[in-house]
Structure 1
């Protein structure tokens, strides 16, 4: 059963999912620290290039099935126009001021 984004436990992760699903690049970027990093399937990627390709230019969308670690780890069905839909895992490092310093994703 899908968890509605508004029901996600961690407010920063909730805002991340909402920004992805709304294709709101400005809101998405405001959630990240200036030096944020990310990895996909265990390999570090260029953050700006990755989010453009995998989220914003390809209509990325997250449907969250499960959360753990206080809402900072998700299992979700992720879809975009490039890859279709796949089961993915997401984890987030959130700073004390509620911004994401790193996120990791990959196939679940």
Structure 2
């Protein structure tokens, strides 16, 4: 059963999912700490290049199936125009100011 984004526990993660699904690049970027990093399937990637390719230019969308770790780990069906749909795991590091300093994703 899908968890509605508005019901996700962590405010930063909730805003992240909303920005992805709304294709809101400006809103997405405002959620990240300066110097934020990310990894895909265990490899660090260039954040700006990755989000352009995997989220914004390919119309990425997250349907969250499960959350754990206080809402900072998600299991989601992620889809985009490049890869179609896949089961993914997302983990987030959220700083005291409420911004995301790192996220990691990969196939689940």
TM-score, normalisation: structure 1? 1.00
1:68 aligns with 2:55: no
Q: Quote the RMSD (CA, aligned, Å).
A: 0.2
Query: Any idea what the Cα deviations from partners look like across 1:5-61, whole Å, max 9, x if unmatched?
Result: 000000000000000000000000000011100000000000000000000000000
CA distance in 1: counterparts of 2:71 and 2:88, whole angstroms = 15
The corresponding residue for 2:86 is 86
1:38 aligns with 2:68: no
CA distance in 2: counterparts of 1:33 and 1:97, whole angstroms = 9
CA distance in 2: counterparts of 1:103 and 1:62, whole angstroms = 14
| Runs of 4+ that moved beyond 2 A | none
The corresponding residue for 2:26 is 26
TM-score, normalisation: structure 2? 1.00
Equivalent positions of 1:88-103 (< 5 A) are 88-103=88-103
Q: How far did 1:72 drift?
A: 0.1
Q: Say how many residue pairs are matched.
A: 108
